[in-house]
């Protein structure tokens, strides 16, 4: 963030729909940085790397190695350039040095959804068009 604040080479220009061109500097790094440093926006909470680390450390010691090796990031914030590398770097700094840290973002959501959809227990939660037509949107609260 300090580099972004002092370097004009990281500025980027965007053309708005009305044709006006704006240049954005370190502002474009503030949003993703708050994921790691919530204090930037006045929140007294842990960053995503600390939350992941704390969650792993609360799990049974026998599965921690697998958890460190299988971090999955999903959602719109995974579109930020370098987010997986940053997450890996931050967790590596917190984790025991013997742990192999791996952060995945590619296709993880689709794979997870695919696995969930294939579970027989999940099929009980499916809502058919007929059920939806009969009950309306409130059907989601009953399944």
Q: Does residue 113 lie in a domain region? A: no
Q: Check whether 3 has a pLDDT greater than 60.
A: no
CB 63 within 8 A of CB 56: no
Residue pLDDT, tens place only, 83-130? 999 999 999 999 999 999 999 887 777 888 888 888 888 888 899 999
- For residues 105 and 78, the answer to whether their CB atoms sit within 8 Å is yes
Number of domains forming the structure of the chain: 2
Residues 26 and 41 in one domain: yes
**Which CATH number is 8's domain given?**
3.90.640.10
- List pLDDT tens digits, range 34-91: 999 999 999 999 999 999 999 999 999 999 999 999 998 888 888 888 999 999 999 9
Residue 101's Cβ-side half-sphere holds a number of Cα atoms within 13 Å equal to 19
């Amino acid at each position: 963030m300090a580099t972004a604040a002092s370097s004009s080479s990281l500025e980027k220009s965007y053309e708005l729909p009305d044709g006006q061109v704006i240049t954005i500097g370190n502002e474009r790094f503030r949003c993703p940085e708050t994921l790691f440093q919530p204090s930037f926006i006045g929140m007294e909470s842990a960053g995503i790397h600390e939350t992941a680390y704390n969650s792993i450390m609360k799990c049974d010691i026998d599965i921690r190695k697998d958890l460190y090796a299988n971090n999955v990031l999903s959602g719109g914030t995974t579109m930020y350039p370098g987010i997986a590398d940053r997450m890996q770097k931050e967790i590596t700094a917190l984790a025991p040095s013997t742990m192999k840290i791996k952060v995945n973002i590619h296709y993880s959501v689709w794979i997870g959804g695919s696995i969930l959809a294939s579970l027989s227990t999940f099929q009980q939660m499916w809502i058919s068009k007929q059920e939806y037509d009969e009950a309306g949107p409130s059907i989601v609260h009953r399944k």
